[in-house]
Amino acid sequence: MTTASLPHADDIQAWYHEAQTARGKGDLAGAQAAVERIIERDSRRPGALYLRGLVAHDSNQFEAARGWFERAIEVLPHPDFYIALCAAQIKLRAYADATQTARQGLALQPDSLQLRFYEASTLFVQGVFDEAAISYRELLERDPDHVQSRTNLGIVSKALGALDEAEHHLRHAIARAPGSLSTRAHLGTVLLAAGRYEEAWPLYEDRWVNFASADGRPAPDSRPEVPLPQWKGESPESVFGAAQSNARGARLLVIPEQGHGDSLQFVRYLPLALRTFTRVGLMCPPALRRLFEDSLSARWPGLVLLDDTCPVDDWDWYCPMMSLPLAFGTRLDTIPAAMSYLYADPARAAAWRARLDALPSRALPRVGVVWAGGHSGMMEDKMRSLTPTQIAPLLALPQIHWISLQKTDDPAKRADAASQAALTDWMDEVTDFADTAALIDNLDLVIAVDTSVAHLAAAMGKPVWLFNRFAGCWRWLRGREDSPWYPTVRLFNQQRRGDWDSVLAEVASALQQRFAAHADHTA
C-alpha cells in the first residue's frame, strides 16, 4: 500500500505534460492543479517549483512567483531560474534585488544575453548609469544588433552627457528596427538637446510612446484621438479649398499635453497661429485658465479657452501644444522669445504687494524659491529636485527675503523647521497659476529647479536662476548658461551628476554679488 502511494516516474511526466499543455492553452487553473500534484509528492523537485512559479507569474501573482523561483534556486541554482526570478522582481519593482539576481545568474552563465539585459536594465532604472552603460556594452559585444539594448544605451549615453554617442546608438537601433517609435522619439530629444531642431521636430512627433505616469511607470500611448487633420504648417486651403476656408476662416484647436510647464512654454505660439487661423481654441487646464485669460484672451480676441468637453465640430484643424514648433518650422535662431508674454492681474498683484510691504523685511530683496518638482515617482524628478536639507544653507543666507513658491503633496519635499523659519510661505493660499503669477510679480528674482514655476516666471520676464541637473531636459540645450527660449533665464548647471553642492555654492556667490549694494546699504 505504501509503495502504491509513491508517484511513478510516468505519473510525474504525465503531470508535467498536463501542466505544460494547460499553461500553453491559457488554462492556468488546470496548469496549477497539475503541477501542485507533483509538488505535493515531491516538494523539492526544482522543475516543478519553477513551473509553479511560471504559472503564478502568468497569473500576475508576482509575489508568489518570486517565492516559487527562490525555492527552485535553493534546490538547484540554474540560469533559467535566475532569469525567471529577475522577471518577477522587475514586475515587483524590486530593481536592486533583480540586479543582484542577474549577477548571481551570470556567475553561472556569463554569456546569457537575457541575464545581462536584466542586469543592465535594472541598473538603468535605478539611475546607475555608468554601470548600466558597461553592462549594455558587454551585451552588445555579443549581439551588436540587440535593438532594445542599443536603444537603452543611447538613452543612458544621453543621461551621461554623451550626445554624439547617444545619437550613434539610437540611429543604429533605428536602422535595425525602423518602426520603433520609441527609439525615434528618443533620438528626437537627443537632437533637440543638441539644438538641431529641424531634424528633431519630426522625430519628436512620436514622443507619446515614451510618456510615463506620475509614479514612473510607462503610460499608455496618450496621443490625441481627434477627428480632425493635424496642422503641421500647411496652408488651411490645402485641405478644404479657398472657398470653404474663406467662408468663415479656418479654425485651429490646440490640445495641451504633458505638464503645466510645457503649456506655459509653448503657449507663446498661439498668437502666432492667429496669423494663419481666424480663431484658435486652447483646451485649457483649469489651473492655467485664469492666467491665460488675463494674459492672452484680453489681448487676442481670436483666442478662446475651452474645456475638454468642447465639440470638435467647431474646428477645422487640431495641433498638440508641443507640435506647434514643428508647424512653425522653429529653428534655434527663430524661437519666438519675447521678453514677456504672460502677465499677472494688477489687482491680484497689488493684494500680494500690500501683504509683503506690511512685513518687517519689506526693504530686503525678494527672492522666490522652488527646490523640488512634482511627480516624485519619476526618475527625472529625483534628478532635478533638491531635498530640504540641501536647500537649507541657501535659505540661511542673510539680507534676503525668501518667498516660497513651492507646492507639493509629498511631505518629504516640505521645508524643514529651520528653513521654514527663513521663508515667507503663503502657498497654501495659492489656488492656481494666476495667484502664483501675482505673487511672482512682486519679486526681484526667482530661483527654481526645472519645474512649471520657472517657466511661469521666465514667461513673465522675471529674472530666473535655474538649477539645471546634469544632462538635463532638452529645452535647456547643453553647455549654455542662457536660454534661447527665455531672455531672462540664467542656468546654473551641474557639472557632475548629482552634485548640487557646487551649484548651490555658485548660486550663493551670485546672490551676494547681485545684492551686494543692498547688503552694504543695510549694514
**Arithmetic mean of pLDDT, 166-179:** 97
Tell me the pLDDT band of 246, cut-offs 50, 70 and 90. Answer: low
Q: Residues 73-91: pLDDT tens digits?
A: 999 999 999 999 999 999 9
- Helix (H) / strand (E) containing 320: strand 317-320
How far does CA 460 lie from the centroid of its chain?
24
Check pLDDT > 70 for residue 523: no
**Domain boundaries along the sequence of the chain:** 2-210, 238-334, 346-522
Q: Which of 236-250, 260-274, 440-454 has the lowest mean pLDDT?
A: 236-250
Q: What is the model's pLDDT at position 241? A: 56
CATH topology of domain 2-210: 1.25.40
Q: What SS3 string covers 64-98? A: HHHHHHHHHHHHCCCHHHHHHHHHHHHHCCCHHHH
Check pLDDT > 80 for residue 95: yes
Q: What is the model's pLDDT at position 377? A: 72
Alpha carbon distance 344, 73 (integer Å): 64
Residue where the block lists cell 519689506: 362
Q: What is the model's pLDDT at position 6? A: 46
Q: What is the model's pLDDT at position 203? A: 98
Q: What is the model's pLDDT at position 19? A: 92
Alpha carbon distance 353, 441 (integer Å): 9
pTM for this prediction = 0.90
Locate 182 and state its grid cell: 520609441
Q: How far apart are the first and last CA of the chain?
A: 100
Q: Residues 288-334: pLDDT tens digits?
A: 999 999 999 989 999 999 998 888 888 999 999 999 999 999 999 99
How far does CA 222 lie from the centroid of its chain?
14
Question: 22 with 54: CB under 8 angstroms?
Answer: no
**Arithmetic mean of pLDDT, 395-408:** 94
Tell me the pLDDT band of 409, cut-offs 50, 70 and 90. Answer: confident
Name the average pLDDT for the chain.
Answer: 92
A 10 A CB-CB count for 299 gives 11
**Arithmetic mean of pLDDT, 119-131:** 96
Locate 29 and state its grid cell: 487553473
Amino acid letter, residue 250: A
* R_g (Cα) of the chain, nearest Å: 28
Q: What is the model's pLDDT at position 242? A: 52
Alpha carbon distance 137, 367 (integer Å): 46
Amino acid letter, residue 123: L
Alpha carbon distance 304, 458 (integer Å): 23
Amino acid letter, residue 88: A
CATH topology of domain 346-522: Rossmann fold (3.40.50)
Q: Residues 19-29: pLDDT tens digits?
A: 999 999 999 99
The answer to whether the 2-210 and 346-522 domains have the same CATH topology is no
Alpha carbon distance 136, 133 (integer Å): 5
Check pLDDT > 50 for residue 4: no
